[in-house]
Amino acid sequence: LAEATLAGGCCPGASRNRFAYNEAGQVRIRAGLPIYECNSRCRCGAECPNRVVQRGIRYDLCIFRTGDGRGWGVRTLQRIRKNSFVMEYGGEIITSEEAERRGQVYDRQGATYLFDLDYVEDVYTVDAAHYGNISHFVNHSCDPNLQVYNVFIENLDQRLPRIALFATRPIRAGEELTFDYNMHVDPVDAESTRMDSNFGLVGGPRGGSPRARGRIECKCGAASCRKFLF
């Protein structure tokens, strides 16, 4: 709470959580910890350093066709600093039951874009198949340059975090953006243990439903490649 006072009454301290960003808007907390940004009830303005994800994409990104059988991908046209917010994983929020039903349809089509929101429990899923943004085209890598964080802004329902992707290292202009579809987060404290090892994109570009998917070969090409997505 003392940090919240120093920050002008911003809400992370009021939520008994750490202030997530430095003065440059770079995330400074470990993956697995939640990010609470300022909202419409805060006294601060649009330039508050605790308003990052809600400002949207700030980098020039482009969709391109990969040449190694991974379909479409996303690359940055600008250099991205380490720990900077890059994009939010957007889509249609559906129940896990509906995700199961759609996943069976996507299996037959050979494509699915289901992302489980299982920060505290597996109740909702984001489906980017029909509604979404450029994150729909981001490929998997076993050595990714993006990391997933749970973000809460106008909503404090822990079953409905917003999914934000931050740079894990400096990213060169022209480099492809990737994140780990089967992300594992090392627990930092009791709060971070809520993000379990299943937190990630369900199925991937050629995957199955949330609870029934076959082995999918990984084509990321990383030296540390696990050979299979799931």
Catalytic residue among 21, 59, 89, 106: 89
Q: Is 89 a catalytic residue?
A: yes
How far from chain centre, in Å, is Cα 175? 18
Q: Identify which of 125, 135, 78 has the alpha carbon closest to the alpha carbon of residue 103.
A: 125
Q: Is 181 a catalytic residue?
A: yes
Cα–Cα distance for residue pair 195/158, rounded to 1 Å: 11
Cα–Cα distance for residue pair 119/88, rounded to 1 Å: 16
Which residues are documented as binding site for S-adenosyl-L-methionine?
70-72, 139-140, 181, 219
Which residues are documented as binding site for Zn(2+)?
10-11, 38, 42, 44, 48, 142, 218, 220, 225
Cβ-in-10-Å burial (0-12, 13-18, 19+) of 122 comes to middle
Do residues 63 and 76 touch, judged by C-beta distance below 8 A?
A: no
How far are the Cα atoms of 23, 70, 138, 144, 166 from residue 178, in angstroms, in the given order?
26, 12, 6, 5, 11
Neighbours of 130 (CB within 10 A): 10
Just list the catalytic residues: 89, 181
